[in-house]
Amino acid sequence: MNRWRVFTSAPHRMFFFGGILQSCLAMLWWLADLGGRYANLYAPLDWSLPPMDIHAFLMLFAIFPFFIFGFLMTTYPRWMNGREVPRTSTVRAFLLMLAGMACFYAALLGNPFGLMLSAVLFLSGWAVGLAALLRVYLESIHPDKRHARITSVVLSLGWLLALCWYLGELIHLEVLVSLARVLGVWLLLFPVFFAVSHRMIPFFSGVVIRDYEVVRPMSALAIAPLCGCVHGVLELSGLPQWTWVADLPLAGLGFYLTWAWRFRASFIAPILAMLHVGFAWLGVAALLYGVQSLAALSGVAVLGRAPLHALTAGYFSGMVLAMVTRVTLGHSGRNLVVDRLTWTLFLVFQGVALLRMGADWPGLPWGARAWVLLVAGMLWLAVFGVWAWRFAPMYWRPRSDGRPG
């Protein structure tokens, strides 16, 4: 019971653990599916839902929201000088979402009621967590709530998109699944990650880098989400040849902020460099999307899903490893210094993103592509598995400095 009290004493403990667990389970499922469907190591496994729909849900809604809720429930009171999120709300939200994911995996194995029960539990947990965050936001009288406003709005949209995915699968309406798959990237994850990057990277950099000038253009908080929204709508409308109108300005903004936030100077401290490296993937991903779109305008199909995985594996996942490492160390009472193992894991994970992008290399034989995907998945699982072995015990152990939380 004492260990449970420690585990539930702070939202980041529960939700980061849930995110790490889902990172490993989702990749285990993906590897199992790839082994049969792509690599022909055994007969393709029989799932109750289309494999690509499962993969989209797991990567967009089953992994990142756990990390997002854990981070925002920790930072909202600090961003806005508000009250802490009540323990009852965090525990209820976590348990409901975790139970929802347990039912989801049961549904994949053929449980006829699993998906419906998963929808009820998972969306209820999301709603409880969102309501707790909105309460902090609405009660705060802090003069600057712009970053929290963005994350609050898009988490609300994210709930609707997750609902669309469940409904699309339950009533067999593909348009709803496509809506959730595309807009889950551009109207949920991208705005959240950009808002957090915009607020936290200059702040953390100013603590470490000498003579650091904080560059945080507030116009970027409007430009970046707008570009993401335009891209998502155009992609959903079947107009990928025109997404460059949003992709190239976003690439320019991403590269400018990478430079203005002093990417090279960040390597003075690996824990800071992890954030900068993760963010640098945004400019790369947006540029690749722009190139792909301009090629499509000329009638040429290039790059496949490489831009998507530069964004999701490079930017989103890289930022998760960086930010979760930092919060876990800081809120367990430890020094904000990463050891060689953690830095190595992060660098290896950059290889995961590159391998996944390389699987879409033009002319790559199908058999070779299957093995590149398998290696990328195994490296993902190895990184998150070792990371969990290194950091997860901190979630059920008291802080080393004796402080609460």
Q: What is the pLDDT of residues 40-53, one digit of tens each?
A: 778 788 898 999 99
CA distances, 133 to each of 82, 196, 200, 284, 389 (Å): 10, 15, 18, 32, 30
Alpha carbon distance 280, 132 (integer Å): 32
Given a cut of 70, is residue 1 above it in pLDDT?
Answer: no
User: Could you give the percent of the chain with pLDDT greater than 90?
Assistant: 86
In a domain? residue 405: no
**Could you tell me if residue 52 is inside a domain?**
yes
Structural domain of 190: 2-395
Q: Is residue 234 part of a domain?
A: yes
pLDDT, tens only, 200-248: 999 999 999 999 999 999 999 999 999 999 999 999 999 999 999 999 9
Q: Cα–Cα distance between 372 and 356 in angstroms, integer? A: 7
Judged against a pLDDT cut of 70, whether residue 330 lies above it is answered with yes
Asked if pLDDT for residue 287 goes beyond 80, the answer is yes
CB 280, CB 258: distance < 8 Å: yes
- Residue 246: give its domain's CATH number: 1.20.210.10
CA–CA gap between residue 252 and residue 257 (Å, rounded):
9
Q: How far apart are CA 200 and CA 135, in angstroms?
A: 22
The verdict on residue 127 lying in a domain is yes
Q: Place 256 in a pLDDT band, splitting at 50, 70 and 90.
A: very high
Q: How far apart are CA 267 and CA 260, in angstroms?
A: 15
Residue 403 lies in a domain: no
Residue 400 resides in a domain:
no
Span 315-331, mean pLDDT? 95
Residue 75 forms part of a structural domain: yes
Q: Measure the CA–CA gap between 90 and 67, rounded to whole angstroms.
A: 13
Mean of the pLDDT values across residues 329-337?
89
Instruction: From 151, 98, 149, select the one nearest 124 (Cα to Cα).
Output: 98
Residue with tokens 């995110």: 19
| Distance separating alpha carbons of residues 14 and 8, to the nearest angstrom | 6
- 191-216 b/e (C-beta count within 10 Å ≥ 16 → b): bbbbbbbbbbbbebbeeebeeeeeee
Share of the chain above pLDDT 70, in %: 100
With 0-12 / 13-18 / 19 or more C-beta atoms within 10 angstroms meaning exposed / middle / buried, residue 332 is buried
CA-based nearest residue to 262, from 209, 315, 311, 223? 209
- Tell me if 182 is assigned to some domain: yes
Q: 375-392, pLDDT tens digit by residue?
A: 999 999 999 999 999 999
**How does pLDDT run across 343-378, given as a tens digit for each residue?**
999 999 999 999 999 998 888 888 888 899 999 999
Q: Are the beta carbons of 302 and 291 closer than 8 angstroms? A: yes
pTM, two decimals, is 0.96
Distant-in-sequence, close-in-space partners of 329: CB < 8 Å, separation ≥ 6: 271, 335, 336, 337, 338
Our count of domains for the chain comes to 1
On whether the CB atoms of residues 194 and 240 are closer than 8 A, the answer is no
